[in-house]
Structure 1
Amino acid sequence: MDQQRHTQKQLDHNDKHSSQKTLTHLALESHGAKVCTYSSFYSFKEEAIYSIDTCRTGGFTERGELEVTSIKDSSREKNFEVVYSPALTDDPSTHKASCSCTMFERTGILCRHIIWIFSANGMKTIPDDYVVNRWAKEYLQLRMFNCNGEGTDNMKIIDEKQIAMSIIWSEVHQTVGLL
């Protein structure tokens, strides 16, 4: 258990104080390096590389406000259908996409087909809906407790005194749990 805690602390330290090296020109990959943990970024980076190397447009149709694109994936020798909903505003966080390969739904990491569509539409950042908490650098693995001893999963605490008190209470709860 001590070895696992030590390894987890090392990984958390790496995630907070460094970022991964990117291999492509994609702005989405650069953004992924900033927001994803080391382990999840390896998978994301692989998908970003494959999106450039193996994905091509196979056709395009519109269904109302939705854009449906058939993506030819030469590495899998299949066609995948990506349903894309462009934002009605300039805010890229409102863009939505889903792919018939269902990789994002299964793993929480964007597939090469959605990365290709987002890149083709000029997106420079990954929408917030596609940065899953378990793969995000900013999400703490340990449950936080506030000053009242209540558990909280909301990490958007602004006051630094509250953060310090929450960390202290979390350590108290963990110590009591070990006893």
Structure 2
Amino acid sequence: MFNKRQRWIPAYYRDIPLGCLLRTTQRSESMNSFFKRFENPRGTLVEFWLRFQSAMDQQRYTQKSLDRDSDLCLPVTKTMLHLEIHASTVYTHALFYEFQKQCVSSLNSCSAGDSSRDSTTRFLDVEDAILRTTYIVAFNPTTFDAKCSCKMFERKGYICKHIIWILSDFFTCGC
């Protein structure tokens, strides 16, 4: 049980939307180290403020340069999936590379299982060869709503390889 401790927190926050973004003491520790650079026991409030403003200007500059890079150049795609090509235009580079891992993994590890239909929703079992698990994807072709039982979108904010596999199959065969 102790060897699986890295999975404790994600399992606990599985049903909380974007729960993977929650941090424990890491955030407060990084804030403390950020502010320690500006404090001086003999310094004045004005000195602290000037150092703080300088650091904020540096962060703003870094953020603007990253935004400019995302706007001016598109990342290289690894698959010919229309979904990946579209994601390269709307996601930031960092988020796109996380999404791209899911795209590549969907082609390498997912396969079809059983399927059933509701009045408007298709329920498909997607077998994940890497994780050796079957996930249920609910897909509504009229509204393009999709939900997966792995709940990656709810936790991390981008769709999982199981949904990508269903969507790529849907758009390829024209179902």
Report the TM-score when normalising by structure 1: 0.63
Quick one: which amino acid aligns to residue 67 of structure 2?
Answer: D
Is the aligned partner of 1:100 residue 2:149? yes
| Number of residue pairs matched by the alignment | 117
Paired residue secondary structure (1:61): strand
Question: Hey, what's the Cα distance between the residues in 1 that align with 2:58 and 2:166?
Answer: 42
Match of 1:81 among 136, 147, 153: 136
- Asked if 1:37 is matched to 2:92, the reply is yes
| In structure 2, C-alpha distance between the alignment counterparts of 1:3 and 1:112, rounded to whole Å | 37
1:53-72 to 2 correspondences below 5 Å: 53-72=108-127
Deviations for 1:52-85, whole angstroms, at most 9, x for unmatched residues?
0000011111122210000001111111000000
| Greater share of residues in helix | 2
Q: Distance in 2 between matches of 1:62 and 1:52?
A: 24
- Tell me if 1:110 matches 2:159: yes
Which protein shows a greater Rg? 2
Runs of 4+ in 1 over 4 A off after TM superposition: none
Q: TM-score, normalization: structure 2?
A: 0.64
Q: CA offset at residue 16 of structure 1?
A: 1.1
Whole-angstrom distance in 2 between the partners of 1:50 and 1:32:
16
Shift of 1:40: 0.5
Rounded to whole Å, the distance in 1 between the matches of 2:150 and 2:115 is 17
**Which sections of structure 1, spanning at least 5 residues, go unmatched?**
88-93, 124-179
Is 1:15 aligned with 2:70? yes
Distance 1:72 1:3 in 2: 47
Percent identity, please: 38
Aligned partner of 1:120 in structure 2 is 169
RMSD: 1.1
Helix, strand or coil: the match of 2:71? Answer: helix
Counterpart code for 2:77:
T
Whole-Å Cα distance in 1 between the matches of residues 76 and 108 of structure 2?
Answer: 19
Secondary structure of 1:121's counterpart equals helix
Letter in 2 for 1:100: S
Choose between structure 1 and 2 for higher RCO, CA contacts under 8 A separated by at least 6 residues.
2
